[in-house]
Amino acid sequence: MSDAPEIICDIRGSAGFVVLNRPKALNALNLPMVRELAKALDAWEHDPAVTRIVVTGAGEKAFCAGGDIRSLHDLGKAGQHDEMLTFWREEYILNARIQSYPKPYIALVDGIVMGGGVGLSLHGSHRVAGERWLFAMPEVGIGFFPDVGATYALPRLPDHAGTYLALTGDRVGQADALALALATQAVPSARMAELAEALTGSEPVDATIAGFAVDPGPGKLAPERATIAHCFGAATLPDILGRLDAKAAAGDAFAAKTLATIRAKSPTSVAIAFEQMRRGASLGFAEAMQLEFRIVSRIPHGHDFYEGVRAVVIDKDQAPSWRPRTLEELDPADVAAYFAPLGAAELALGG
């Protein structure tokens, strides 16, 4: 066991500086890390010496690959549902804290950023993408759902790209991140450490980052944006599938691959994710987080999350047995139940 702290929060020059420090675990997020970052943000908000927050991930592979899903799975299997919800409750409160933080919050992302890592970066004022940026919300592939504020953020991406990302779990790189406004600036990986150091100075944040920013050119999704906009702009999930099917039948290889990808995911998760995107477009951030907490409060009592983690993380056979097996077999009432109010157990955000 390493004695190194899992998260380092200190003051460097003008910056409250955060290092997610579990590189061997791809900086996966756990409850102690959530609590330490929340405590630091509270302290730095009222410290006049701290004019900006800078968040980085240790190592060269990941900013943060997500929450510690295996440990959450194990808690659920042991019937420790309250412990699972303690993590998600505090994580979601932290996501909302970041989104409304009064000082510049700069995430320097040069590697994998998925799930819980998205919650620590996407809602900040500045998201700087290095060449190694690899973004995904892959939750529908493990019987979960795109949380940590995705309900708010993804429906606001251009050309219905957020719905595409939510339903497929597709991974996108630096150029697409900038084009879709997942990132606010692109910077060469070789200059990320130099930028981090520069941000500890007193020069304005925007001017500092601008001195490092580059144009990464078009991303892999650029040729598919019109297809994504047409198919994922449909009003219902069956209509999305129908449009993809029609495109595929006409010889569109991207549409055919996308349709097959969605069909392989948890049908329950896909239906939940679509409903999140539909509702999220008109919700404020706090409302979106409360909606996600309603959903996540029901996840431990279902089947697909445990089966998805088993297939992808534990046994790694990549052969989950979903219940129900297809979208057509889903009972709409079962999906709607995930969104029902929680009464006294609703997520309480500050105010």
- Residue 110's nearest CA partner among 94, 140, 133, 84 is 133
Distances (CA, A) of 245 to 239, 252, 255, 272, 284: 10, 9, 7, 21, 33
Active-site residue, 116 included = yes
E strand segments, 157-267: 185-186
pLDDT digits (tens, 9 = 90+) for 11-24: 999 999 999 999 99
Q: For domain 7-217+264-345, say whether CATH 3.20.10.10 is its number.
A: no
pLDDT digits (tens, 9 = 90+) for 136-186: 999 999 999 999 999 999 999 999 999 999 999 999 999 999 999 999 999
Query: Of residues 116, 130, 141, 143, which has the active-site annotation?
Result: 116
Q: Residue 139 corresponds to which amino acid? A: E
Is pLDDT at 1 greater than 60 in this prediction? Answer: no
Longest Cα–Cα distance of the chain, Å, equals 61
The residue extents of the domains of the chain are: 7-217+264-345
- Residue 124's nearest CA partner among 208, 55, 49 is 55
Kindly tell me the sign of the dihedral angle through the C-alpha atoms of 269, 272, 273, 274.
positive
Residues 118, 12, 87: CA angle, nearest 5 degrees: 35
Q: Identify the pLDDT of residue 156.
A: 98
Beta strands 7-12 and 52-57, pairing class? unpaired
CB 187 within 8 A of CB 212: yes
pLDDT digits (tens, 9 = 90+) for 85-109: 999 999 999 999 999 999 999 999 9
Instruction: Give all strands of the β-sheet with 52-57 in edge-to-edge order.
Output: 7-12, 15-20, 52-57, 105-109, 126-129, 185-186
Q: How much is the average pLDDT of 253-270?
A: 98
Q: How far apart are CA 305 and CA 233, in angstroms?
A: 27
Q: How much is the average pLDDT of 243-253?
A: 98
CB atoms near residue 158 (< 10 Å): 12
Active-site residue, 139 included = yes
CB 192 within 8 A of CB 201: no
Is pLDDT at 52 greater than 60 in this prediction? Answer: yes
Beta strands 7-12 and 15-20, pairing class? antiparallel
Which residues make Cβ contacts (< 8 Å) with residue 189, sequence separation at least 6?
A: 110, 130, 131, 132
DSSP-assigned states of every residue in 101-120: -SS-EEEEE-SEEETHHHHH
Q: Identify the pLDDT of residue 2.
A: 63
Q: In the structure, what pLDDT confidence band is assigned to residue 3 with cuts at 50, 70 and 90?
A: confident
Q: How much is the average pLDDT of 263-278?
A: 98
At 17, give phi and psi (nearest 5°).
Answer: -110, 125
Q: How far apart are CA 337 and CA 170, in angstroms?
A: 27
Is pLDDT at 10 greater than 70 in this prediction? Answer: yes
What's the whole-number average pLDDT of the chain? 97
Q: Identify the pLDDT of residue 27.
A: 97
Query: Of residues 6, 91, 139, 159, which has the active-site annotation?
Result: 139
Q: What is the pTM of this model?
A: 0.97
Q: In the structure, what pLDDT confidence band is assigned to residue 236 with cuts at 50, 70 and 90?
A: very high
Q: How much is the average pLDDT of 240-247?
A: 98
Active-site residue, 67 included = yes
Instruction: Give all strands of the β-sheet with 112-114 in edge-to-edge order.
Output: 62-64, 112-114, 134-136
Q: In the structure, what pLDDT confidence band is assigned to residue 351 with cuts at 50, 70 and 90?
A: low
Q: Identify the pLDDT of residue 48.
A: 97
CB 16 within 8 A of CB 53: yes
Between helix 161-168 and helix 225-232 the angle, nearest 10°, is 80
End-to-end CA distance of the chain: 40
Which residues make Cβ contacts (< 8 Å) with residue 107, sequence separation at least 6?
A: 55, 56, 63, 120, 121, 122, 124, 126, 127, 128
pLDDT digits (tens, 9 = 90+) for 179-209: 999 999 999 999 999 999 999 999 999 999 9
Q: In the structure, what pLDDT confidence band is assigned to residue 350 with cuts at 50, 70 and 90?
A: confident
